Chains A and B, each alone.
Chain A
Amino acid sequence: MSIQGGQNPASEALAPPFAEAEALGSAETPTQQLWRTFRKDRLAMLGLYVLLALLVVALVGHVLTSFWPIFDPVTVRLPDKLRPPLSPASSSLAKDLLPPFHSYPFGTDEFGRNVLARMLQGSFISLSVGIVAVSISLAIGLSVGGLAGFYGQRRLGPISIDTLLMRFTDVVLCFPTFFLILTVVALLPPSIYNIMIVIGMTSWMSTARFVRAEFLALREQDFVTAAKALGLPEWRIIFRHMIPNALAPVLVSATINVAHAILTESALSFLGFGVRPPYATWGNILADGRSYIFDAPWLFLIPGAAILIVVLAFNLVGEGLRDALNPKLRKRSG
């Protein structure tokens, strides 16, 4: 059990204001209303700015480190081992090895690799690990929850689909998650995709439960009955009418799950099962940096601080979204 108080009312967050807006003739859509409430939360806005900045850094960093040789994060510069941040490059380096602007803003590591370049590469990979893992968990959660909520009454032999899927969810919930991730990652061949898949496959259960609950409530609503009466095909009712209305709680948990996935990746790196070289992620830069914690503390502090800021930003945005989607809180805060 975690902090998930006030999930359920979110289902009403989108439907009634929609009707109200129509009745009053006001032009404000639910999204605009959400944005208006969200904008008032200063911490959440701060988190949003950080995430936008991170997105730019990750994309620019990916382009720079992949296509510009002087930003290559794997360039080894042995004369410049363990240089502290902001130190200039030594003059004995060959010309094509010189780092950008002849300096190391974040210092260098034990092989003289430029930590700035490694962090830039890591930002893209860490972010992709988080986003791909959460997309996988969303896909599984939406399918399982949606099937159980929409087709739950149908029977396969003696048991209903709903019972089958939800008992399966219970089974997966009973596994000690981190232990399971650790076991599977340790047994599988090391690869960045396996880590994404394993994290995704062990974090879909809460999404499935939310979606099922939303679907059960939505199925009884008038607009779904209307859609059925119009003779729309089932897939269209599910994808065009029900899923968009069920997304609110899913969006919140997805935002927070990205933060979890980044932390899980760093914990796996710490135990030696993370993303393998040559890929740099913030998690494995941090995990490698701990061997030099006395001689080169920046190798430990810089990735640690980066993870902290980004995960914090995801958490703040997630909580801001949850508050903005919760009609009870919205009324109270005026």
Chain B
Amino acid sequence: MWRFLARTIVQRLLLLVVISIVSHTVIHLAPGEPTEVDAMNPMMKAEDVARIRKSFHLDEPIHLQYLHWMKDLGTGELKSFRDGLPVLPKIWERFLNSLPLFLCTTLIVWTASFPVGIQAALKRGSRYDRSTTFFAYTLISIPGFFLSYLLILWVVRTFHLPVIGLRTFGTDSGSGIMRVMDRIWHLVIPSLMAALTGIAVLSRYVRAQMLEVLAQDYVRTARAKGLDEDHVVYGHALRNALLPFVTMFGLLLPGLISGSVIFEQIFAWPGLGLLGYEAILARDFPVILTLNFMAAALTLFGILLSDLLYALVDPRIRLQ
């Protein structure tokens, strides 16, 4: 067990180094330097550009730039190209904004998908099953921003309430309870929108998994014993069907960074996705690279976590 853990961690760390080198190379070799974003600015003289490039180490060979990036990241002194602010506190601040959105989305996805998927599996071939199937495919097929705009239009026209941003402008002076309610209202709609695709995918997966398990011999045995249907479905079938979903908890983690660029952009939610988008527009290499690096690290950590969780819940699996 411990040997497995040690070996996996070493492997994953090596993989992370490879990933960081690849992403650094891709981003630095692609055309378009930070100094070229505003190339026509008359205030910038050639020597200024040269000075800026020197202070960002952009004039050095690419492997030295990589070492600079890694060193600054390690010592926490990495500065954004755009505004000179330290990158890590900047990311932390945005992370705190993304976290509630992510948690709320995940909560909606997981609480809504299971009842829908289980019902569809139990009533296989019924009208309920066919309509949820069709509805799920429709949700997967809609461009997320199209549906969000329609919903924003509808909410604004029907309830005359603002939905964009973290909070309603001008409510800072309101009472505590009012501010909390306002934050929650602003949280619910973006997370609902971000959750819809997740619900569609996950409920289909729950349905497939339940169908698989319901066809097993031990379910027939449980029925033959005369157990009541609820006990068979929730006590025997569902518990076994849950196994693969445990691993999905780990795989959710990277969604924290990359999952919500579109929705954060629509709802002007100052989270990690929007930070990445702004950094890409400004060719802010330290921020882009660090976000990419963190996303990869989260992915690798998530895979490790799901392996461990799987071993924890399924005694048939031994980690060697």
Residues on A close to B: CB < 8 A? 1-3, 5-6, 43, 167, 170-171, 173-180, 182-184, 186-189, 259, 263, 266-267, 270-271, 283, 286, 290, 293, 300, 304, 307-308, 311-312, 314-316, 319, 332
- Most chain B beta-carbon contacts within 10 A, residue among A5, A6, A283, A319: A5
- Specify which of B134, B140, B277, B291 is in contact with A271 (CB 8 Å cutoff): B277
CB pair A179 B27 closer than 8 Å: no
- Give the contacting residue for B27; candidates A43, A177, A183, A319; CB below 8 A: A183
Contacts of B142 in A (CB 8 A): 304, 307-308, 311
Question: Which of B50-58, B72-80, B224-232, B280-288 binds A?
Answer: B280-288
Q: Which of B62-70, B167-175, B250-258 interfaces with chain A?
A: B250-258
> Within the complex, which residue of A6, A179, A263 is in contact with B292, where a contact is CB–CB below 8 Å?
A179
Q: Are A319 and B137 in contact (CB under 8 A)?
A: yes
The interface residues of chain A lying within 8 Å CB-to-CB of B283 are 187
| B36 → A minimal CB distance (Å) | 11
Cα(A186)–Cα(B278), bound, Å: 11
A267 to B142, CA, bound (A): 11
A6 touches B258 (CB 8 A): no
Given A170-B15, A316-B137; A307-B288 close (CB under 8 Å): no
What is the distance, in angstroms, from B140's C-beta to the closest C-beta of chain A? Answer: 6
B130-149 near A? 1/0 per residue, CB < 8 Å: 00011001101111111001
A312 touches B141 (CB 8 A): yes
- Beyond the given A187-B280, A312-B138, could you list 17 further A-B residue pairs with CB under 8 A, ordered by the A residue number? A1-B251, A3-B204, A173-B299, A178-B261, A179-B261, A179-B276, A179-B291, A182-B261, A182-B276, A183-B292, A187-B27, A266-B146, A293-B153, A300-B146, A304-B142, A307-B143, A312-B137
Interface hits, B237-279 → A, CB 8 Å: 247-248, 251, 254, 257-258, 261-262, 265, 276-277
Task: Tally the A-B contacts, defined by beta carbons under 8 Å.
Answer: 131
Instruction: Find chain A residues with CB under 8 A from B60 CB.
Output: none
* B 4-21 to A, binary, CB cutoff 8 A, 1 in contact else 0: 000000000001001100
B141 x A308 contact (CB < 8 A): yes
Q: Name the one of A5, A184, A316 contacting B30, with C-beta atoms under 8 angstroms.
A: A184
- Contact check, A179 vs B205: say whether CB atoms are below 8 A apart: no
**Structural contact, B201 and A2, CB atoms closer than 8 A:** yes
Chain B positions 199 through 243: 1 when the CB is less than 8 Å from some CB of chain A, otherwise 0: 001001100110010010000000000000000000000000000
- Asked if residues A175 and B292 are in contact (CB atoms below 8 Å), the reply is yes
Residues of B within 8 A of A186 (CB): 32, 280-281
Quick check: is B87 within 8 A (CB to CB) of the other chain?
no
